[in-house]
Structure 1
Amino acid sequence: MTKVAIAADSKLAANIGAEIIAQGGNAIDAALAATLTSMCCELGVMAPGGSGFITIWPQDREPVVIDAYAAMPGKDFPGDRPYPELQKTLLNYGGGIYTGIGYGAVAVPGMFAGIAKASAEYGQLSWAELITPVAKVVEQGCPLSRVSGMYLEHAHAAIFGWHPESYQLVHPNGKDYLKAGDIVRLPDLAKTLYLIADEGPECLYQGTLAQELVAEMGRSHGAITQADLASYAAIIREPIRISYGDWEIVTNPAPAVGGACLAALLLLQQTRQNLDHDTIAAIQEAVLNYRFEHLNVDQDRWQAVTDLLYFARMNQLDHYRSSPSTIHVSTVDDQGCACSLTASAGYGSGAVIPGRNFWLNNSLGELELHREQSEPIAPGTRLISNMAPTIARHRNGSVLSIGSPGASRITTAIAQSLTNFIVHGDSLREAIRRPRLHVEEFDDQLMIAYEENLRAETLSNLSMPLRGFPPLSMYFGGVQAALWSEEEQQLQAIADPRREGSVAFA
């Protein structure tokens, strides 16, 4: 029987993935079920109305990326009502960020469509067999994870306080918000999952849930229409492919930008003989500057991604200089099949489908991704994303599935972990545990965020100011990785200690 390693965001999600294997599923089924579990049980960090990307590389087929990311709403928007305006709120997270909440912040959700496509084309279990175990867990009630508890500490009022149903679910006694370890009870979500298991994924796009969602959008000043949902489809895309040492790496292509940034970071690092912290920070500064200057413009994003990879392959670093709200699951089996899946609902909108306990995303409200644009985004356009679910295959047959949550820190977390593992020869566990740095814009200036067990004096050659965080800070993502070692004939799964991840084997 095929053996599978699973690295997920929580013990509950990893265990559900293992249960799916015991029922006859494969590595893809396990990743999908674990993701569904996190979507429904990781309050605030994720939501059922989220979106994402699924990278799949079967042992005997070409790799693919399934684009199930959020789309701009507004097709056939009724002319007799005003287009929604974004409600902004200050969220005391990561030093303080503004985010958009309410129904006007909700984009067309894609994760259920992507899970359905991956299941139909690469899985072994039926749709109902995939959904039902997750519905049972939600029905029984599940403990709130440490990461969700930490997030609700910041978000329980700012994100969920404006909506009566959201507030009641997060504050079950009407006053105190849920803490880590508290049992989350969402009985109406369990019923909704059974409905989705029965009606199929079309339930959210053309069936019962679609009708209820569109009706609530009309009442509550949201932009999603029936045409938006009916026309949404998960898209199979050809991944970005690069060589890195003896490994071939595939990751997320345009219109997302995370995979291109990751590939550029790795390509530029590969040309440097000395990969000290100064060099890594300089490369990050170059690539992330390019990302914010060129990759936020939706109309030019495809060409900008092409240019980014070209300049990286040509080692034109100077050209660049001139110009938790996520979950991740990695699975791999002992036959060399791998799945890497990253999903997000943004920072949360607080909006729900009434009576369903079905939270929606705030993908239009992630203000750091959507800067002011000269032209409005056309309905149906895929929104910008930093996600980079990645798979690497060694020439000897070993295969590694890896990815991370963490907004703009996704690409730098994965790049540093891959470099530690492939270039420095660290064990997979040590590669993920090593202290990280991240170049970012904070208080209107470029700064280096770093974990304080990374020696600050090694960054002294750079002119940017430093912003320290405790060791193993969840700010720097939560890399989940699963490895099949062909030489050792052994499976490994590593969950980043920065978040309450967990692993399972089946």
Structure 2
Amino acid sequence: MKDILEEGGSVVDGAIAALLCTSLMNPQSMGLGGGAIFTVLDRMGNVTIITSRETVPKHFQKDLLKNCSQSNFFYTDAAWIGVPGEIRGYELAHRLYGKLPWAKLFEATIRLARDGFPVPLYLGNFLSHPFLKRKIEKSSLCDVFCNKNRTVLQAGEMLRLPALANTLSTIAEQGADAFYTGQIASDLIHDVTAAGGTLSLEDLRSFKAEVMNPWTLPLGDHVLYLPPPPAGGAILGFVLNVMKGYKLNPSSVEGAQKTLTYHRYVEVSKFANGQRKMIRDPSFSSGKNPNWLIKEEFAERIRKMISDRATHSPEFYNATPSMDRLGTTHVSVVAADGSAVSVTSTINHIFGSMVYSHKTGVILNNELADFCGYQNRLSAGEQPPSSMAPAIVYSKSKKKTLAIGGAGGTMITAAMAQTLMNHLWFGKNLTDAIGAPVIFVDANNTVNPEKHFDK
């Protein structure tokens, strides 16, 4: 990414190059078989959202959501695959904000995929996990992540991705259409169909990335720009808007005040869990615009419901248990001219559907699992709800820009909210704000302090 910026590339050029490289380093979390959300601030101060989240295929399995289960953490069936949008997102972002040639952004990643590289420690930890190891060795992923003895690679062993290198080369030369209408598309559908998936050439041909206006939330001297539903910006905005009303400052995390502050935060997080079911693709929702989630009137109502001396049963918060997702990758880039981009990408669960396309080198998502716990029916073309919330915080008066996001499914909200609270209200510098331990309230409203959190 640094080389791209030094050669005159834009922040979006740098982000795309970084994401392509990350798809090799962290293939368990993101890649060409997934989808992404960009939040872009141009040098004039204008903010745009670009979304290329996966969508429900036209011929999806009608009773798929009957297979949702709280006890099933891995949805590794091809039926859960959504229409990949990653490359269409890159294409649109580059068309609007790119400076360098499209092919230039792919060069380093293609070389790396073809020449090979040592398995990174982070990827190696997933490959060596006993449960994942068994699943990988029994899946098509073994063809890329196993040695000749059909045993998964260890950290430090060489990993080569020739099929993916060929796919990337073709996309670099021919553009995004090569993935959605060319031979790559045909090869991808062949492999997905063989695995039992419902994805079709028609699904790929009809996929379009979208440009959207951001939701905005004033935070003192700053404005927070968020992606609208079905992304997770509404939930992040809800948490921060309620907490803002407590007039937080550095003394709020000292002595007895610290206990009260985090009690309130935990209670707000429980209410946030109860609101997640309101997040749906607006094109498929008959309800009113959920922007009331970040309105001051609603925040005040929630604050009045919070007791400083008590907690309540899950029904009080209107919480609906659902699975807490892992996965995703986030990239933030800020340039000297004031422009910035915050982008989050995912294939959903770890290694997505665990369906590997031998012909293309692409690992497919299991994005339809994101409907579990939130909806009881699917609609073709619908984007699933998400916790992804790539955001930009901008202060015109202070000439300060912060591009922020996170990875880890529903843990994204907790990490981003507490980082912003630490930095904007509690007086921590950015390094300390990011590094501070956090509290995560899971989908069952269980409070999980991170290791080293001061209890």
Q: Give the TM-score range, shorter chain.
A: 0.7 to 0.9
* Alpha-carbon shift at residue 215 of structure 1 (Å): 2.5
Name the residue aligned to 2:96: 121
Alignment pair present for 1:161 and 2:145: no
Alignment pair present for 1:384 and 2:388: no
For 1:24-39, list aligned pairs within 5 A: 24-39=8-23
Change (3 A) 1:372 1:384: closer
Matches of 1:304 and 1:193, distance apart in 2:
39
Name the residue aligned to 2:445: 446
Secondary structure of the corresponding residue to residue 73 of structure 2: strand
* Deviations 1:101-125, CA, capped at 9 Å, x for gaps: 1321210011110011111110101
Of 189, 198, 210, 1:235 maps to: 210
Of 230, 234, 238, 1:264 maps to: 238
For 1:256-335, list aligned pairs within 5 A: 256=231, 258-273=232-247, 275=252, 276-292=261-277, 294-295=278-279, 299-300=284-285, 303=288, 305-310=290-295, 314-317=299-302, 321=316, 323=318, 324-335=326-337
Secondary structure of the corresponding residue to residue 316 of structure 1: helix
* Deviations 1:436-470, CA, capped at 9 Å, x for gaps: 001113xxx421011132233xxxxxxxxxxxxxx
* Alpha-carbon shift at residue 302 of structure 1 (Å): 6.6
Change (3 A) 1:89 1:195: farther
Would the aligned equivalents of 1:264 and 1:309 in 2 still touch at CA under 8 Å? Answer: yes
Alignment pair present for 1:361 and 2:365: yes
Query: 1:387 is aligned with what amino acid?
Result: M
Change (3 A) 1:159 1:35: farther
* Alpha-carbon shift at residue 391 of structure 1 (Å): 0.6
Change (3 A) 1:253 1:102: same
* Alpha-carbon shift at residue 162 of structure 1 (Å): 3.4
Of 206, 219, 222, 2:194 maps to: 219
Matches of 1:84 and 1:300, distance apart in 2:
20
Matches of 2:209 and 2:392, distance apart in 1:
20
Change (3 A) 1:418 1:433: same
Change (3 A) 1:372 1:62: closer
* Alpha-carbon shift at residue 303 of structure 1 (Å): 3.1
Change (3 A) 1:251 1:159: farther
Change (3 A) 1:313 1:87: closer
Q: Mind listing any 5+ residue stretches in structure 1 that lack a counterpart? A: 1-16, 457-506
Would the aligned equivalents of 1:440 and 1:447 in 2 still touch at CA under 8 Å? Answer: yes
Matches of 1:145 and 1:98, distance apart in 2:
24
Name the residue aligned to 2:422: 420
Name the residue aligned to 1:151: 126
Alignment pair present for 1:371 and 2:373: yes
Matches of 2:404 and 2:286, distance apart in 1:
25
Query: 2:269 is aligned with what amino acid?
Result: Q
Change (3 A) 1:282 1:291: same
Query: 2:366 is aligned with what amino acid?
Result: N
Matches of 2:118 and 2:68, distance apart in 1:
28
Secondary structure of the corresponding residue to residue 165 of structure 2: helix
Q: CA RMSD in A?
A: 2.6
Would the aligned equivalents of 1:86 and 1:101 in 2 still touch at CA under 8 Å? Answer: no
Of 25, 30, 44, 1:60 maps to: 44
* Alpha-carbon shift at residue 239 of structure 1 (Å): 0.7
Change (3 A) 1:151 1:355: same
* Identity between Structure 1 and Structure 2 (%): 25
Q: How many residues align?
A: 422
Secondary structure of the corresponding residue to residue 101 of structure 1: coil
> TM (normalized to structure 1)?
0.78
* Alpha-carbon shift at residue 209 of structure 1 (Å): 1.2
Query: 1:378 is aligned with what amino acid?
Result: S
* Deviations 1:8-61, CA, capped at 9 Å, x for gaps: xxxxxxxxx112123321211111110111123313122321111000001215
* Alpha-carbon shift at residue 233 of structure 1 (Å): 0.6
> TM (normalized to structure 2)?
0.86
Would the aligned equivalents of 1:440 and 1:448 in 2 still touch at CA under 8 Å? Answer: yes
Matches of 2:192 and 2:161, distance apart in 1:
22
Give the number of the structure whose residues are more often strand, by fraction. Answer: 1
* Alpha-carbon shift at residue 384 of structure 1 (Å): 1.3
Would the aligned equivalents of 2:57 and 2:380 in 1 still touch at CA under 8 Å? Answer: yes
* Deviations 1:258-284, CA, capped at 9 Å, x for gaps: 100111111111101355211111111
Secondary structure of the corresponding residue to residue 46 of structure 2: coil
Query: 2:55 is aligned with what amino acid?
Result: A
* Deviations 1:464-492, CA, capped at 9 Å, x for gaps: xxxxxxxxxxxxxxxxxxxxxxxxxxxxx
Name the residue aligned to 2:163: 188
Would the aligned equivalents of 1:88 and 1:100 in 2 still touch at CA under 8 Å? Answer: no
Matches of 2:170 and 2:56, distance apart in 1:
26
Matches of 1:296 and 1:319, distance apart in 2:
25
Q: Mind listing any 5+ residue stretches in structure 2 that lack a counterpart? A: 253-260, 307-315, 319-325
Matches of 2:286 and 2:418, distance apart in 1:
25
* Deviations 1:330-371, CA, capped at 9 Å, x for gaps: 0001111000010000122121222322111111234xx422
Would the aligned equivalents of 2:68 and 2:369 in 1 still touch at CA under 8 Å? Answer: no
Give the number of the structure whose residues are more often helix, by fraction. Answer: 2
* Comparing 312-321 and 447-456, the one that deviates more: 312-321
